[in-house]
Amino acid sequence: MYRSRSVVVVAVTFAALAGVAHADPTLRYGFGKPATAAEIAGWDIDVRPDGAGLPEGRGSVADGQAIFDAKCASCHGTFGESTDYMAIAGGVGTLQSDQPMRTTGSKLNYATTLFDYIRRAMPFNAPKSLTSDEVYALTAYVLNLNDILPADAVLDRRSIVAVQMPNRDGFTTRHGFMRADGKPDTHAKACMTNCAAEVRLSSEIPDYARDSHGDVAQQTGRATGDGGASAGLSGTLPPAELAARAGCLACHGVTNGVIGPAFADVAQRYRNDPTAADRLLRKVQAGGAGSFGTVVMPAQRLPERDLRTLIDWILDRLQ
Amino acid sequence: MSRAPRVPGRIRPAPESSSRRRFIGSGAVVAATLAARTTGAAETATDFLPPADPPWSRTLGAPILASPYGAPARHEAGVVRRQSPGLTRTALSSVSFTPLQNLFGIITPSGLHYERHHAGVPDVVPDRHRLMVHGLVRAPRLYTLDDIVRFPSVSRIHFIECGANTGMEWANVAVPTVQYTHGMLGCSEWTGVPLALLLDEAGFDRKRARYVLAEGADGASLTRTIPLDMARDDVLVVYGQNGEMLRPEQGYPLRLLVPGVQGVSSVKWLRRLEVGDAPWNTREESLHYVDLMPGGIHRQYTWIQEAKSVITSPSGGQLLLDRGYHEITGLAWSGRGKVARVDVSTDGGRNWRTAKLQAPVLSKALTRFRIDWTWSGGVALLQSRVIDETGYVQPSIRELRDVRGTRSIYHNNAIQTWRVDPAGDVSNVQVS
């Protein structure tokens, strides 16, 4: 009886441990927990060009304009021409020119990417706050601003995949940057001597940019001068921290005497003395004994500014 | 063994204002005035120097825990990340640059590692953070940070370089110092779990799986496509950087690290990994981080960072104070493997000498190089050129432009030139 009960306990304990560690016996480690369908649905917001991931819902250009004017135009401009932020309209056909105008309309290849990005990251100050209908509507309006969709267009998960962006075929993966062993597009040679007949300066920093990054001398050098070593720490630290840094607290407490008197006792002693600060300064600089006992306080060689800061603080420790 | 340098060389920041020149010229006077004003004592600058003992030798120093975490010496306050004015429209979607000119060795201090984020730095609560692994997997999983830390871990040293590093210089010289020309670059020891292990654990579909989508937990929820071969090779899900937890601006508490690949793929604040059978063509793979070629076609999915190097000292904005010996030093790296060799030219690429590589030389990590140089006082054009273990030779800006024009923004890995003028001023130039 006794024995069989302990066996049951052991078996139950083992089952519980196994349950925690290996709910799924196919897992090698079993850490974490299964991600449920509801959890995945909440976070799995990505949309691919083939339409995978698009939610139900629909939105019109007209609906999109109302939302855009309220939530987007302050950065992107009423017509998507941009204020300071990236222009989302215009520039179609300029990518081949010397002055490419890179906008959402001129550069993007798939409307689904526009939907995905608005859904996850816009408005800039309130990402993930829009409904699916609102995201469809905004996507429709941005495409309308670019003359890609007519003013009466409505987008949903089927129609958005059919949108033909002007730069649909403007991308290539025929290059060597997709794999570590991909083929480079330059083939420089490591010549060692007499490699160039003539070396000519082709560009120097423009005048307008010379001072645009501040005092580069201060940015590129090591520490110079005495680094303010003699200026002390006053102004860079609160007095209590200065007292700790300066080693005062090795011998003094604020409210309790340690080796020397408590600062509160010092404040009490000098509370009605208008010359207290100057007298204390001389005492601290000279060191000595007798005021509070026979233990000698060594002379302190802190910068005077630091000492005065500390003394003012000490005299303010009255309880 | 190299000959001992006969003339010492010193390097100082270029004093642009006359007041700074005066300070350097009569430093003792200025320091003495300063000392007298602040201490009330008749101290002079020579009181700091032998045979005298300086103040810090005559007083107590700070106690332990004066700064519980610790911070650089206050005199190093100028060694900070900086932004390039006008480059971006808001500090909430922007970039700060690593001060490469001030750094030694190959490890970037975590607080100096360049930042790039697209919707600010989120304040992620680690207990509430989750990593979801789903898609074409048999067992979709949801992990806490503690779960991730329980997995077998690895630590490796790798660089991260933004695909747009040096992007401002495609058409002409635009920025003054190496911080701005090359500072979207950092190298850390990263600790985390191999992504391959998490994919195996979830049981990815070996027939259909081709790509992995990585997504961040920040407001932008930035997404990037990672090819499965790469994901199963050396990609890490990282929580540690240089021995401590990631900094918030580096993705605390979890980020992806895709070695050798442009930084945007190393998604920060990582919250989701989805296995799929086609690339996602995300905004950061179509509107941005694509390379515009002459003719108007964009190269898409340009993941790899090709071999690149730069001299960090002497570099733009510095000043050579003396003729004579100077060490030329810099960094080299390759997204395709190890650095095999670095050559240095002081005459704009006519003649080259091979530099010494500082161990360790690691795959897809920064490598420090050094070479002795005696400056004769004339004009010098300093260049470095890396050759990686595949035999690839870092191109000149002309060779790059011949193929890619000047509008591609990304992947400018051209040889950098610094001009030393007879006064010792070092400035950013391009040569042809």
Whether residue A26 is found in the same domain as residue A103: no
CB contact at 8 A, B404 and B306: no
Q: Would you say residue A154 lies in a domain?
A: yes
Residue B174: pLDDT band with limits 50, 70, 90 = very high
Q: Which of A130, A162, A194 is the last residue of a domain?
A: A162
Number of structural domains (chain A) is 3
pLDDT over 50 (residue A11): no
Q: Which of A145, A162, A179 is the last residue of a domain?
A: A162
Dist CA A142 CA A93 (whole Å): 17
Residue B12: pLDDT band with limits 50, 70, 90 = low
Dist CA B173 CA B383 (whole Å): 15
Q: Count CB atoms within 10 A of the CB of residue B129.
A: 19
Distance of CA B101 to the CA centre of its chain: 11
Strand B270-276, strand B131-135: pairing: parallel
In this predicted structure, what is the pLDDT of residue A260? 84
User: Quick one: closest CA in B to A303, which residue?
Assistant: B39
Shortest Cα distance, chain A CAs vs residue B332, angstroms: 15
| CATH code, residues B100-299 | 3.90.420.10
Find the angle CA(A146)-CA(B118)-CA(B78) to the nearest 5 degrees: 135
Q: If you average pLDDT over every residue of chain A, what do you get?
A: 86
**Residue B105, burial from CB neighbour count under 10 angstroms (0-12, 13-18, 19+):** exposed
Dist CA B400 CA B410 (whole Å): 12
Q: With an 8 Å Cβ cutoff, are A220 and B429 in contact?
A: no
Please state at what angle helix A304-315 crosses helix A276-286, rounded to 10 degrees. 130
> Is B308-429 assigned to CATH 3.30.420.140?
no
**Residue B231, burial from CB neighbour count under 10 angstroms (0-12, 13-18, 19+):** buried
pLDDT over 90 (residue A283): no
What percentage of chain B reaches a pLDDT higher than 70? 89
CB contact at 8 A, B121 and A258: no
Per DSSP, the residues of A147-161 read TSS-TT-EEETTHHH
Ranking A169-173, B8-12, B306-310 by mean pLDDT, the lowest is B8-12
Q: With an 8 Å Cβ cutoff, are A301 and B428 in contact?
A: no
For residue B29, what are the contacts with CB-CB under 8 A and spacing of at least 6?
none
More confident residue, A245 or B243: B243
Distance of CA B50 to the CA centre of its chain: 39
CATH of the domain at A287: 1.10.760.10
List of chain B residues whose C-beta atoms are within 8 Å of the C-beta of residue A45? 221
What is the phi/psi pair of residue B357, to 5°?
A: -95, 135
Q: What is the pTM (predicted TM-score) of this model?
A: 0.83
User: Quick one: closest CA in B to A240, which residue?
Assistant: B66
Q: Would you say residue A305 lies in a domain?
A: yes
The predicted model gives A98-113 an average pLDDT of 93
pLDDT over 80 (residue B181): yes
Per DSSP, the residues of B169-187 read GSSS---SSHHHHH-SEEE
Q: Which of B281, B363, B385 to mutate to test binding with chain A, by most A CBs within 10 Å of its CB?
A: B281
Shortest Cα distance, chain B CAs vs residue A80, angstroms: 15
In this predicted structure, what is the pLDDT of residue A225? 35
Which value, in Å, is the radius of gyration of the alpha carbons in chain A? Answer: 37
Whether residue A33 is found in the same domain as residue A71: no
Whether residue A110 is found in the same domain as residue A142: yes
List of chain A residues whose C-beta atoms are within 8 Å of the C-beta of residue B432? 200, 202
What domain range is A294 assigned to?
Answer: 234-315
pLDDT over 80 (residue B32): no
Of residues B356, B126, B350, the one with CA closest to residue B251? B126
User: Quick one: closest CA in A to B78, which residue?
Assistant: A219
What percentage of chain A reaches a pLDDT higher than 90? 50
- For chain B, the domains span 17-58, 100-299, 308-429
User: Quick one: closest CA in B to A212, which residue?
Assistant: B85
First to last CA, chain A: 72
Q: With an 8 Å Cβ cutoff, are B221 and A26 in contact?
A: no
Q: Which two tokens stand for residue B177?
A: 């110092």
Whether residue A31 is found in the same domain as residue A67: no
Q: Which of A143, A162, A181 is the last residue of a domain?
A: A162
Q: Where are the alpha helices (DSSP H) in B233-305?
A: none
Q: With an 8 Å Cβ cutoff, are B201 and A205 in contact?
A: no
Q: With an 8 Å Cβ cutoff, are B101 and A220 in contact?
A: yes
Element (H, E) at B327: strand B324-333
In this predicted structure, what is the pLDDT of residue B279? 97
Of residues A96, A58, A196, A288, the one with CA closest to residue B293? A96
Strands (E), A41-160: 58-60, 154-156
> What ipTM is given for this predicted complex?
0.89
The predicted model gives A39-60 an average pLDDT of 98
Dist CA B347 CA B332 (whole Å): 20
Q: Where are the alpha helices (DSSP H) in A126-246?
A: 132-145, 159-162, 207-210, 216-220, 239-245
Residues B396-410: tens digit of each pLDDT: 999 999 999 999 999
User: Quick one: closest CA in B to A98, which residue?
Assistant: B407
Residue A219: pLDDT band with limits 50, 70, 90 = confident
Which residue from B43, B407, B432 is facing A100, i.e. has the nearest CB? B407
Three-state SS at B85 = coil
In this predicted structure, what is the pLDDT of residue A299? 77
Q: With an 8 Å Cβ cutoff, are A213 and B176 in contact?
A: yes
Q: Which of B84, B130, B213, B287 to mutate to test binding with chain A, by most A CBs within 10 Å of its CB?
A: B287
Which residue from A199, A209, A230 is facing B348, i.e. has the nearest CB? A199
How many residue pairs bridge chain A and chain B with CB atoms within 8 Å of each other? 364
Residue A16: pLDDT band with limits 50, 70, 90 = very low
For residue A8, what are the contacts with CB-CB under 8 A and spacing of at least 6?
none
Whether residue A153 is found in the same domain as residue A64: yes
CB contact at 8 A, B236 and B189: no
Which residue from B290, B337, B349 is facing A199, i.e. has the nearest CB? B349
Ranking A218-227, B15-24, B147-156, B345-354 by mean pLDDT, the lowest is B15-24
Tokens 């689904």 -> residue: A112
More confident residue, B8 or B121: B121
List of chain A residues whose C-beta atoms are within 8 Å of the C-beta of residue B86? 212
User: Quick one: closest CA in A to B345, which residue?
Assistant: A192
Q: If you average pLDDT over every residue of chain B, what do you get?
A: 91
A190, amino acid identity: A
pLDDT over 90 (residue B27): no
More confident residue, A75 or B252: B252
Shortest Cα distance, chain B CAs vs residue A271, angstroms: 26
